[in-house]
């Protein structure tokens, strides 16, 4: 079989290039320029899919992106894409497509039994049943429903393709390249405005590509399109984007476009992105999205071989494909007549034109008669025959009584239908504009512009080639003028032919069949019939939104672009309300389904989120360190030696720090340089602690609250000079602390002469902790007397480390003698490697965050975010000492005075020791008074931190416990699934309570 | 590199191989330099410029350059001062001396960020794969400097020539920024 | 009310479904009601249902400015779970879970509550700590929740990528097996049908324009698009529009209304068995019975009543989904929409009497109101009928923001060290 | 993604360069000790949350870093005015009228 339905000549396909593709494994031929749909039709294939609910055989209905039936899966090198519209899939050599929603095969589908059972499945049937027995919903009904539902099969493998992104600005964005869009683009471009013209199709021209009869400036439409595009392409201020769908219209004239870059190629270069997201800020937008033809709702209007008339004409003229050999045209609109004429002129037997109008235009009737086409006026289709392909139509005559009388049967292998046209208002609707009902057009059309956009041509219900062109030019001129204030000087092209068609029908047609037996489809894909809509109305669904949700009409992948108007009309009849009072559902973005990968773009793996590394990174990797993610940072969790698990590594690291010395990368801690004459005053207001009397060269622990009174951050702050502080924050808190400081500084205290600068990444920080810390750093530090007297605990001084400037802090988060050395970041690697080498000489160790946590827990130091959770006050944390008693105000002070923050029974920070020293509590475990509390017993608190403590030779834990400060020495329980664990409440300071080790 | 005459402070790092070298665009790492963040009140602007050796621009998003100096407008009271790496202390001390007694904040941020030099006819296209700024010459003339967002990373962009941009990011973000730039440019290699 | 059943369905098939009655009436408002509920979303309708059913208060009107169930009820991602940290929250949401189980039978309307499990992923050590704390707290509170290793999580949800190579590898998950999804429209419709059957008037397209208070300050009724309606009690259940409605009564609310987006993919055959959430990388996904992947996106950073949001919000949600489920990259977005969520400072709802006698408010559910629908309606009905809170909603006062007795779900999960 | 004008940089930039920090012109009481619990909750949490014209704070966090204020219609999301921090709140009703909302 070699394309038996291909015409002899004509069309936009390249007949010289033959391409082989497969559909459900069967090899077929097509041409360059074909869509899968046109190629299938050329091969005589109409049956391409099964419907969602009843699994009825379905064929190609349209030639555009609104196609409801012809959804296929496409395979390419292990990548699989479901639900692609055959009308949009371009044929390439080797294309592999499969039909969907059928088992075992498209021809024989067991799901088709649903069609026989359909009387049981009216709209919303599932709300009324499947409730008994109760347990069956999860186990039986739902799995069956889920397996039956869905269209294509989901992709099974990770996607190999990449996706690009580009941000663009333009003066005028024109969406759609039919006559109106092209004219608008030309007019706007002539002013010099920056223009982007996009069209979802492979080729620019829209409806002009399938019009063989009209002329523009004496040229064929295609010649005119080619000239126009060539001209636009030559202009520097114009960007032409084919295969590019404007799918989203957002606030402030922000339009998202999806460009399909490689999908049409047989063997795309892997360097090319599969698709590219264009995010365009347009000063003005011209929506030239055209109109789409409406199906007619007659019984059995869904058989393969029944298409929209304009689709039939497009397949013929643009793709050189006849939709059948014996074609019936059923219409309410003039435009379908032209399709009949074109088909007849290509030798197709047009068996009849059935026009439901009593008196179709005489000129059309005359042309038809001249071609020998039978014309049936006042005639409707009342049914069709043929299971997998239509083979005959039943005709009926409309009587003045409103009844329908049978008018016999006509054999055919295709039916072209036209219920008139519906302007495509999706983008306008997305722009938040409100559509208005236009009685003359018989459709909803764009109302007032809410954003800087205007619709042009058929998109606003304006039909006829000449009118559309003129409107397009005018829209382009107006848009450019609004965008850049320049008038266009473009000569309008003049068209002949392509007249606007008259006539339309909405809603279900009357027929003489048994209404309870036949199905007249409104929404093909979701199998919604006219009966379903009437049922919804009968059941009290009054809003169109209810009807939509109850019947699922308009919820298919075309978002109701084909079905909405018919559904509205049927609802209007059933509710006995004018159509405008039924309401209209909103068109949501995207205009057509849009690939997830396009939205995700480059964000995957390391580019999903920045991987922030410190200068020790390479060394850590080389030495087997294990990382943990802390925000975007990679922090070393622990450094296992060979054969060590985490527990062993941490135990060794802890013991080593206490015994000799450890090296820790503290670079990720937030650092903020606070400078200016009012620096101390500013910190005084921000932190709970007093700062004014802190001498230069000294440090203090700072506690930061929010104005509600809860702890949000902490860190050591060193005073480098009267007017200069070095503030540290937690790693995760760095950005928010900085933002909070800026907030207070700029908006509450702009009079203060102080500025803050983030220096987090200016410095690399190494913490050297342990009894031998001084010995370790001494060889490298110059300019600072490290003796205990000259440089006591909580000191800071500037000097050099290996000759590079450093800020040396004597501080400790371990309870040991400790130093933190800050060097300019580029020297961080050198510092780390120098110190790593040095600690080896002292049998020291590098240690990670886990050991840091254990060591600080032994000392009862809190970790904000672990031991506090945003509901803890300084008093709760036992840190009243950190509050400057004489301060009149600081952030959080007033909040702390609120009734619940000074109430009894607050949860307070304590230590816990399990009765059995080997039992390690689980972090997050709850604490109760009873050993085996009843379910629902309120907890007294919870375990915030829990570790094995090498220094204590046992487990230790920190916790927040109701009235905990008063409970030291008392027993409580930590209830676990296998029984409560007895714990003693203690001071949170387990090790070196006097702090002697700090001050050596 | 002729574009770079706008500033002799930013130079390609001689020791580094280009991250990207395509006919349409190249991406080079810039050599280390002195960077200072200067904050002060309006009254101190002239004195600070004098001490630094390049005027502090007061036009938003503006840059002023002189020999071995560049002063970049970051905000109404914030400038980034650029100078050769080895002049840190001299520049710092000079400004501090001059501004003694006038409220100000001068902070060394030399190591906080790294710079890339992105140049070539496709440079602005490449930046636009991740930055939502109109880089047309009318909207973003040569000399414009701004902070913005590149995908999920904060960056600073300074246009030093029609087809040349300096892209700075905090050091720990640089792998991300450079990585995505290189990945996004890949398609330019396709004929 | 005609009972729904398979038999009834079969019977009606023979009469071509011509004989089904209305699911609810379309009444005109009466002059006076005992209770007027403002807002016919799930919570408002459930409140009316339980007022009538449990408290015998049947002279009730539910006023709706648009169509019933048309706000957040019809726009949310339909997740049901109760594994909240604080005892107060867990009690409230678990009360809802108890009612979800059996709701279809209770309402004689299949709300398709599907306990397929809600899995909350942990990607960092901090996440693990937070998840474990939830699990322990939940166990004590009698709320089902359990810990899964990455391998167990993968077994429960085969599409999940547990590779160590992704940016934020999965370190485990908290699974609530009784969590799941329900059919949002059916919830609204089922409650509407049930309430209507007991005499509640559901009045759609009836915008409230004022709340009238008497000389003593107590409420007397509401001004509406359909005229003044006298009411002994007025209950505001208006979600994102709560501030606007409460302003009419002169009551300031600690609320902000943000746009929240959600989206669905095209329908595909079963690909996703449960619900997966990741707070750390902001992903939220399940698959509907129809086959669509249902994905919750984030809120915009500014307040808005536009019911739309920015594309960058979708981008960040979808990139997280594709990172966790890389084969969904070729799936396609079918529809994206927005709702308006009213958010309190501690991210917990307000279900409370107000300083105004006879005025009650149920709001502040943020992004998580759907799951609470039955429980919320149940205890709010109690509050209205008895003029005192049910023990379960007693902590959810407006006053807590003044005293500082917050129920801070956000703080407990958010802060990192 | 909104388009926001920064009155300091004097350019329009995409929303992602900015952080919105809620209602504008809520000053921290100058002497918190004098403020009642009601007053403090008003400062901390009570917001107009207006459906309509609303003055709010924005910070050009990934630009010049400055806080400024904007008047926006919260239904259309259209901005009606941008002004620097410290400038008085404009007459919102007047702005609404000008914008024809």
Whether residue B90 is found in the same domain as residue B140? no
pLDDT tens digits, one per residue of A376-410: 999 999 999 999 999 999 999 999 888 999 999 99
B149/D17 touch (CB, cutoff 8 Å), yes or no: yes
Q: Which domain holds residue C250?
A: 12-81+85-107+184-254+347-414
Percent of chain C whose predicted confidence (pLDDT) is above 90: 94
Banded model confidence at residue A104, pLDDT cuts 50, 70, 90 = confident
**Domain of B152: which CATH number?**
3.30.1360.120
- Which pair of tokens denotes residue A202? 């492979």
Banded model confidence at residue A809, pLDDT cuts 50, 70, 90 = very high
- Tell me the three state secondary structure of residue A16: strand
Q: How many C×D Cβ pairs under 8 Å?
A: 63
Whether residue C265 is found in the same domain as residue C329? yes
Whether residue C243 is found in the same domain as residue C276? no
Mean pLDDT (chain A, rounded): 96
Taking the C-alpha atoms of residue B92 and residue B45, their distance in angstroms, rounded to an integer, is: 15
A895/D44 touch (CB, cutoff 8 Å), yes or no: yes
Taking the C-alpha atoms of residue D96 and residue D101, their distance in angstroms, rounded to an integer, is: 5
- State whether residue A80 sits within 8 Å of chain C by CB: yes
A413, A385 in Cβ contact below 8 A?
Answer: no
Of C304, C312, C401, the CB nearest to D41: C401
Of A589, A712, A938, the CB nearest to C87: A938
Taking the C-alpha atoms of residue C277 and residue C299, their distance in angstroms, rounded to an integer, is: 15
Mean pLDDT of A662-666: 98
pLDDT tens digits, one per residue of B117-135: 999 999 999 999 999 999 9
The 3 state secondary structure assigned to chain B is CHHHHHCCCCCECCCCCCCEECCCCEEEEECCEEEEEEEECHHHHHHHHHHHCCCCCCCCCCEEEECCEEEEEEECCEEEEEEEHHHHHHHHHHHHHHCCCCCEEEEECCCCEEEEEEECCCHHHHHHCCCCCCCCCCCCCCCCEEEEEECCEEEEEEEEECCEEEEEEEHHHHHHHHHHHHHHHHHHHCC
Q: How far is A475 from chain B (nearest CA, A)?
A: 25
pLDDT tens digits, one per residue of C101-127: 999 999 999 999 999 999 999 999 999
C167/A608 touch (CB, cutoff 8 Å), yes or no: yes
Domains and CATH numbers, chain A: 1-159 (3.10.20.440), 163-291+423-488 (3.50.50.60), 295-419+501-516 (3.50.50.60), 520-594 (1.10.10.1100), 608-667+762-858 (3.30.1360.120), 669-759 (3.30.70.1400), 899-999 (2.40.30.110)
Which one-letter DSSP state was computed for residue A132? S
**Domains of chain D, residue spans:** 3-28+36-99
| Alpha carbon distances (Å) from C402 to A899, C359, C398, D36 | 8, 19, 8, 10
Whether residue B125 is found in the same domain as residue B73? no
What DSSP element (H or E) covers C87?
A: helix C87-100
Domain termination residue (choose one: B73, B108, B143): B108
Which residues 6+ apart lie within 8 Å of A712 measured at CB?
Answer: A704, A705, A706, A733, A736, A737, A740, A864, A870, C415
A753/B103 touch (CB, cutoff 8 Å), yes or no: yes
Banded model confidence at residue A215, pLDDT cuts 50, 70, 90 = very high
Where helices occur in A214-288 by DSSP H, the ranges are: 221-233
Banded model confidence at residue B7, pLDDT cuts 50, 70, 90 = low
Domain termination residue (choose one: C321, C343, C365): C343
Whether residue C285 is found in the same domain as residue C227? no
Whether residue B177 is found in the same domain as residue B151? yes
Banded model confidence at residue B80, pLDDT cuts 50, 70, 90 = very high
pLDDT at C417: 43
**Domain of B41: which CATH number?**
3.30.70.1520
Q: Is the pLDDT of residue B5 over 80?
A: no
Tell me whether residue A527 is exposed, middle or buried, using C-beta atoms within 10 angstroms of its C-beta: 0 to 12, 13 to 18, 19 or more: buried
D47/C302 touch (CB, cutoff 8 Å), yes or no: no
Domain termination residue (choose one: C289, C308, C343): C343
Banded model confidence at residue B1, pLDDT cuts 50, 70, 90 = very low
pLDDT tens digits, one per residue of A347-374: 999 999 999 999 999 999 999 999 999 9
Q: State the ipTM, two decimals.
A: 0.97
Q: Is the pLDDT of residue C149 over 80?
A: yes
Mean pLDDT (chain C, rounded): 95
Domain termination residue (choose one: C322, C343, C364): C343
Taking the C-alpha atoms of residue A85 and residue A83, their distance in angstroms, rounded to an integer, is: 6
Percent of chain A whose predicted confidence (pLDDT) is above 90: 92
- State whether residue A167 sits within 8 Å of chain B by CB: yes
**Domain of C161: which CATH number?**
3.30.9.10
Among candidate residues A792, A808, A784, the one with its CA nearest the CA of residue A720 = A808
DSSP secondary structure string, A505-528?
--SBPP-SS-TTT---EEETTTTE
The 3 state secondary structure assigned to A847-909 is CCHHHHHHHHHHCCCCCCCCCCCCCCCCCCCCCHHHCCCCCCCCCCHHHHCCHHHCCCCCEEE
Q: How far is C313 from chain D (nearest CA, A)?
A: 9
pLDDT at B4: 44
| Alpha carbon distances (Å) from C103 to B52, C99, C108, C110 | 75, 6, 8, 8
| Chain B residue set in contact with A, beta carbons under 8 Å | 32, 37, 39, 41, 77-78, 103-113, 125, 128-134, 136, 139, 151-153, 170-173, 175-176, 179-180, 183-184, 186-187, 189-190
Q: How far is B127 from chain D (nearest CA, A)?
A: 15
Whether residue B118 is found in the same domain as residue B183? yes
pLDDT at A145: 87
pLDDT at A150: 87
pLDDT at A583: 86
A865, C417 in Cβ contact below 8 A?
Answer: yes
The answer as to whether C1 is a domain residue is: no
Whether residue B37 is found in the same domain as residue B15? no
> Could you give the dihedral angle defined by the CA atoms of residues C183, C184, C187 and C189, in that order, rounded to the nearest 10 degrees?
-110
pLDDT tens digits, one per residue of C282-339: 889 999 999 999 999 989 999 999 988 899 999 999 999 999 999 999 999 999 999 9
Whether residue C336 is found in the same domain as residue C353? no
| Number of domains observed in the structure of chain C | 2
The torsion angles phi and psi of A30, rounded to 5 degrees, stand at -150, -170
Pairing relationship of beta strands D53-59 and C60-63 according to DSSP bridges: unpaired
Domain termination residue (choose one: B52, B83, B108): B108
- State whether residue B61 sits within 8 Å of chain D by CB: yes
Of A194, A675, A825, the CB nearest to B105: A675
- Tell me the three state secondary structure of residue A955: strand
Mean pLDDT of A291-316: 97
DSSP secondary structure string, C276-330?
EEETTTTEEEEE-TTS-EEEEEEE-SS---SS---HHHHHHHHHHHHHHSGGGGG
pLDDT at C416: 40
Taking the C-alpha atoms of residue A48 and residue C2, their distance in angstroms, rounded to an integer, is: 42
A608/C168 touch (CB, cutoff 8 Å), yes or no: yes
- What's the CATH architecture for D3-28+36-99? 2-Layer Sandwich (3.30)
Q: Is the pLDDT of residue C415 over 80?
A: no
Q: How far is D54 from chain C (nearest CA, A)?
A: 9
pLDDT tens digits, one per residue of C228-273: 999 999 999 999 999 999 999 999 999 999 999 999 999 999 999 9
pLDDT tens digits, one per residue of A412-436: 999 999 999 999 999 999 999 999 9
Mean pLDDT of A270-285: 98
Q: Which domain holds residue B104?
A: 33-108
Whether residue B127 is found in the same domain as residue B62? no
Largest CA distance in chain C: 68
Whether residue B116 is found in the same domain as residue B169? yes
Taking the C-alpha atoms of residue C33 and residue C19, their distance in angstroms, rounded to an integer, is: 32
Among candidate residues C318, C77, D93, C290, the one with its CA nearest the CA of residue A145 = C290
pLDDT tens digits, one per residue of A855-867: 999 999 999 999 9
Whether residue B104 is found in the same domain as residue B160? no
Banded model confidence at residue A77, pLDDT cuts 50, 70, 90 = confident
Q: Is the pLDDT of residue A939 over 50?
A: yes
pLDDT at B6: 52
- State whether residue A265 sits within 8 Å of chain B by CB: no
- Which pair of tokens denotes residue C9? 């369905």
Largest CA distance in chain D: 43
Q: What is the CA radius of gyration of chain B?
A: 17
| Number of domains observed in the structure of chain B | 2
| Alpha carbon distances (Å) from D39 to A891, B152, C250, C253, C361 | 16, 39, 17, 14, 22
Q: Is the pLDDT of residue D101 over 80?
A: no
pLDDT at A149: 86
C295, C318 in Cβ contact below 8 A?
Answer: yes
Whether residue C207 is found in the same domain as residue C334? no
Domain termination residue (choose one: B48, B81, B108): B108
- Which pair of tokens denotes residue A890? 């600081």
Taking the C-alpha atoms of residue B184 and residue A485, their distance in angstroms, rounded to an integer, is: 35
pLDDT tens digits, one per residue of D63-95: 999 999 999 999 999 999 999 999 999 999 999
Of A676, A761, A762, the CB nearest to B108: A762
Whether residue B37 is found in the same domain as residue B27? no
Whether residue C281 is found in the same domain as residue C236? no
Closest-CA residue in chain A for B79? A757
Q: Is the pLDDT of residue C197 over 70?
A: yes
Q: Is the pLDDT of residue A852 over 60?
A: yes
DSSP secondary structure string, C201-213?
EEE-S--EEEEEE
The set of chains that have 3 or more CB pairs under 8 A with D is: A, B, C
The answer as to whether C112 is a domain residue is: no
Whether residue C299 is found in the same domain as residue C379? no
């Amino acid at each position: 079989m070699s394309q038996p339905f291909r015409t002899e000549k004509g069309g936009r396909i390249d007949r010289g290039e033959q391409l082989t593709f497969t559909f459900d494994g069967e090899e077929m031929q097509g041409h360059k320029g074909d869509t899968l749909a046109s190629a299938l039709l050329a091969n005589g294939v109409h049956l391409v899919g099964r419907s969602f609910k009843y699994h009825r055989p379905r064929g190609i209905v349209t030639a555009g992106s609104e196609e409801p039936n012809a959804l296929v899966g496409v395979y390419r090198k292990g990548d699989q894409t479901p639900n692609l519209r055959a009308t949009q899939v371009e044929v390439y050599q080797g294309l592999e497509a499969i039909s969907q929603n059928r088992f075992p095969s498209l021809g024989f589908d067991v799901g088709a039994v649903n069609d026989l059972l359909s009387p049981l499945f009216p709209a919303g049937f599932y709300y009324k049943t499947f409730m008994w027995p109760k347990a069956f919903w999860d186990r039986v009904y739902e799995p069956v429903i889920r397996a039956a539902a869905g269209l294509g099969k989901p992709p099974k493998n990770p996607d190999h393709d990449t996706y690009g992104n580009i941000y663009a600005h333009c003066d005028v964005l024109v969406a759609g390249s039919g006559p109106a869009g092209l004219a608008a683009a030309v007019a706007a471009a002539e002013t010099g405005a920056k223009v982007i013209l996009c069209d979802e199709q492979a080729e620019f021209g829209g409806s002009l590509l399938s019009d063989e009869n009209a002329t523009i400036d004496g040229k064929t439409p295609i010649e005119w399109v080619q000239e126009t595009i060539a001209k636009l392409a030559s202009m520097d201020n114009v960007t032409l984007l084919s295969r590019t769908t404007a799918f989203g219209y957002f606030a402030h004239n922000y339009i998202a476009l999806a460009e399909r870059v490689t999908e049409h190629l047989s063997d795309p270069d892997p360097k090319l992105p599969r698709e590219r997201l264009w995010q365009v800020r347009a000063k003005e937008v011209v929506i030239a999205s055209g109109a789409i033809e409406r199906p007619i709702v007659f019984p059995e209007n869904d058989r393969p071989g029944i298409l929209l008339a304009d689709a039939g004409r497009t397949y013929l003229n643009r793709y050189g494909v006849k939709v059948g050999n014996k074609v019936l045209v059923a219409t309410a609109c003039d435009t379908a007549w032209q399709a009949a004429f074109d088909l007849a002129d290509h030798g197709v037997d047009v068996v009849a034109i059935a026009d439901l109008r009593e008196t179709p235009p005489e000129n059309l009737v005359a042309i038809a008669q001249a071609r020998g086409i039978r014309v049936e006026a006042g005639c409707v289709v009342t049914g069709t025959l043929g299971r997998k392909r239509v083979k005959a139509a039943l005709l009926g005559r409309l009587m003045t009584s409103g009844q329908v009388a049978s008018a016999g049967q006509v054999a055919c292998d295709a039916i072209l239908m036209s219920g008139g046209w519906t302007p495509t208002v999706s983008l306008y609707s997305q722009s938040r504009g409100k559509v208005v009902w236009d009685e003359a057009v018989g459709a909803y059309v764009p109302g007032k512009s809410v954003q800087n956009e205007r619709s042009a041509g058929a998109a606003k219900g304006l039909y006829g080639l000449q009118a559309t062109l003129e409107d397009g030019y005018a829209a382009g001129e107006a848009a450019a003028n609004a965008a850049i204030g320049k008038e266009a000087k473009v000569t309008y092209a003049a068209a002949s032919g392509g007249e606007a068609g008259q006539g339309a029908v909405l809603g279900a047609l009357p027929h003489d069949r048994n209404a309870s037996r036949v199905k007249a489809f409104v929404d093909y894909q979701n199998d919604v019939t006219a009966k379903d809509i009437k049922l919804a109305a009968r059941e009290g669904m009054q809003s169109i939104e209810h009807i939509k949700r109850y019947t699922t009409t308009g919820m298919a992948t075309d978002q109701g672009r084909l079905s909405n108007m018919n559904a509205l009309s049927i609802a209007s009849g059933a509710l006995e309300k004018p159509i405008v009072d039924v309401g209209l559902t909103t068109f949501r973005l995207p205009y057509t389904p849009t690939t997830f990968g396009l939205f995700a773009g480059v964000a995957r793996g390391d580019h999903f989120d920045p991987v922030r590394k410190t200068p020790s990174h390479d060394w850590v990797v080389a030495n087997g360190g294990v990382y943990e993610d802390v925000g975007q940072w990679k922090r070393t969790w622990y450094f296992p030696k060979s054969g060590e698990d985490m527990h062993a590594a941490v135990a060794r690291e802890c013991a080593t720090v206490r015994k000799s010395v450890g090296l820790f990368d503290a670079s990720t801690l937030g650092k903020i340089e606070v400078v200016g004459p009012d620096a101390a005053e500013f910190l005084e207001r921000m932190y709970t602690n007093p700062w004014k009397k802190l001498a230069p060269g000294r440090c203090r622990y700072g506690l930061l609250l929010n104005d509600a009174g809860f702890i949000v951050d902490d860190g050591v702050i060193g005073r480098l000079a009267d007017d200069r502080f070095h503030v540290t924050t937690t790693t995760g808190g760095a950005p928010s602390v900085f933002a909070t400081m800026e907030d207070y500084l700029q908006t509450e205290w702009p009079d203060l002469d102080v500025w803050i600068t983030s220096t987090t990444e200016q410095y690399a920080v190494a913490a050297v902790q342990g009894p031998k810390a001084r010995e370790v750093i001494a060889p490298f530090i110059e300019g600072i007397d490290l003796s205990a007297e000259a440089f006591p605990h909580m000191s800071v001084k500037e000097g050099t480390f290996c000759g590079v400037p450093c800020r040396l802090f004597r501080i400790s988060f371990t309870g040991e003698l400790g130093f933190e050395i800050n060097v300019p970041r580029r020297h961080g690697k050198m510092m780390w490697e120098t110190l790593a080498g040095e600690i080896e000489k002292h049998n020291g160790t590098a240690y990670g965050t886990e050991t840091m946590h254990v060591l600080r827990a032994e000392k009862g130091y809190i970790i904000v975010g672990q031991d506090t959770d945003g509901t803890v006050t300084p008093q709760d944390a036992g840190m009243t000492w950190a509050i400057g008693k004489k301060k009149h105000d600081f952030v959080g002070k007033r909040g702390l005075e609120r009734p619940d923050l000074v109430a009894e029974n607050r949860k307070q920070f304590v230590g816990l020791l399990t009765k059995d020293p080997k039992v390690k509590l689980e972090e997050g475990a709850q604490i109760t008074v009873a050993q085996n509390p009843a379910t629902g017993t309120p907890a007294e608190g919870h375990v915030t931190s829990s570790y094995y403590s090498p220094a204590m030779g046992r487990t230790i834990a920190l916790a927040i416990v109701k009235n905990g400060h008063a409970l030291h020495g008392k027993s409580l329980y930590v209830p676990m699934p296998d029984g409560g664990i007895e714990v003693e409440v203690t001071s949170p300071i387990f090790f070196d309570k006097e702090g002697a080790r700090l001050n050596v | 590199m002729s574009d770079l005459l706008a500033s002799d402070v930013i130079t390609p790092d001689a020791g580094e191989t280009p991250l990207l070298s395509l006919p349409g665009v190249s991406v080079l790492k810039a050599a280390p330099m002195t960077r200072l963040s200067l904050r002060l009140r309006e009254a101190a602007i002239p004195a600070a410029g004098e001490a630094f050796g390049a005027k502090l621009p007061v036009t938003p998003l503006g840059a002023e350059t002189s020999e071995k100096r560049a002063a970049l407008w970051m905000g109404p009271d914030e400038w980034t001062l650029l100078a050769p790496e080895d002049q840190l202390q001299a520049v710092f001390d000079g400004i501090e001396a001059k501004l003694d007694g006038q409220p100000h904040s001068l902070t060394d941020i030399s190591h906080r960020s790294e710079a890339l030099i992105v140049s070539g006819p496709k440079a602005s296209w490449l930046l636009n794969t991740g930055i939502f700024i109109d880089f047309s010459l009318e909207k973003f003339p040569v000399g414009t400097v701004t902070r913005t967002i590149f995908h999920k990373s904060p960056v600073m962009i300074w246009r030093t020539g029609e087809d040349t941009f300096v892209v700075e990011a905090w050091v720990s973000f640089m792998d991300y920024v450079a990585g995505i730039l290189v990945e996004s440019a890949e398609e330019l290699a396709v004929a | 009310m005609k009972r729904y059943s398979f038999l009834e369905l079969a019977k009606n098939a023979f009469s071509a479904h011509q004989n089904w009655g209305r699911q609810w009436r379309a009444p005109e408002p009466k002059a006076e009601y005992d209770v007027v509920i403002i807002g016919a979303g799930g919570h408002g309708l459930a409140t009316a249902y339980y007022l009538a059913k449990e408290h015998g208060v049947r002279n009730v009107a539910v006023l709706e400015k648009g169509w019933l169930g048309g706000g957040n009820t019809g726009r949310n991602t339909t997740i049901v779970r109760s594994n909240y940290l604080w005892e107060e929250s867990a009690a409230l949401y678990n009360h809802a879970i108890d009612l979800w189980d059996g709701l279809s039978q209770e309402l004689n309307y299949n709300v398709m509550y599907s306990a397929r499990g809600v899995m909350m992923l942990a990607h960092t050590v901090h996440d693990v700590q937070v998840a474990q704390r939830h699990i322990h707290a939940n166990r004590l509170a009698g709320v089902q929740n359990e810990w899964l290793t990455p391998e167990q999580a993968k077994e429960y949800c085969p599409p999940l990528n547990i590779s160590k190579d992704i940016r934020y590898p999965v370190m485990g998950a908290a699974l609530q097996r009784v969590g799941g999804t329900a059919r949002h429209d059916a919830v609204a419709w089922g409650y509407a049908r049930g309430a209507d059957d007991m005499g509640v008037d559901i009045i759609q397209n009836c915008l409230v324009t004022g709340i009238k208070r008497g000389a003593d300050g107590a409420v007397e009724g509401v001004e509406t698009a359909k005229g003044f309606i006298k009411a002994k009690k007025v209950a505001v259940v208006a979600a994102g529009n709560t501030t606007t409605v409460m302003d009419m009564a002169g009551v300031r609310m600690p609320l902000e209304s943000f746009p929240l987006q959600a989206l669905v993919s095209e329908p595909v055959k079963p690909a996703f068995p449960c619900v997966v959430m990741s707070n750390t990388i902001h992903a939220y996904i399940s698959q509907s019975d129809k086959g669509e992947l249902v994905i919750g996106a984030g809120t915009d950073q500014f307040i808005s009543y536009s019911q739309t949001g920015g594309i960058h919000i979708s981008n960040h949600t979808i990139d997280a989904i594709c990172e966790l489920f890389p084969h969904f990259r070729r799936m396609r977005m079918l529809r994206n929409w927005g709702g308006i969520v009213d958010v309190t400072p501690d991210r917990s709802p307000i279900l409370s009497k107000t300083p105004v006698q006879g005025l009650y408010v149920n709001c502040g559910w943020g992004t998580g109101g759907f799951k609470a629908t039955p429980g919320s309606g149940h205890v709010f009905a109690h509050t209205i009928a008895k003029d005192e809170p049910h023990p379960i909603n007693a902590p959810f006062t407006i006053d807590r923001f003044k005293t500082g007795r917050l129920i801070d779900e956000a703080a407990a999960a958010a802060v990192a060290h | 993604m909104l388009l926001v004008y920064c009155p300091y940089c004097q350019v329009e930039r995409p929303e992602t360069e900015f952080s919105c920090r809620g209602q504008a012109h809520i000053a921290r009481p100058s002497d918190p000790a004098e403020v009642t619990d009601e007053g403090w909750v008003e400062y901390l949490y009570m917001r107009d949350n207006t459906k309509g014209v609303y003055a709010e704070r924005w910070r050009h966090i990934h630009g010049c870093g400055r806080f400024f204020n904007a008047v926006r219609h919260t239904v259309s999301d259209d901005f009606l005015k941008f002004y620097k921090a410290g400038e008085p709140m404009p007459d919102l009703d007047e702005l609404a009228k000008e914008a024809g909302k």
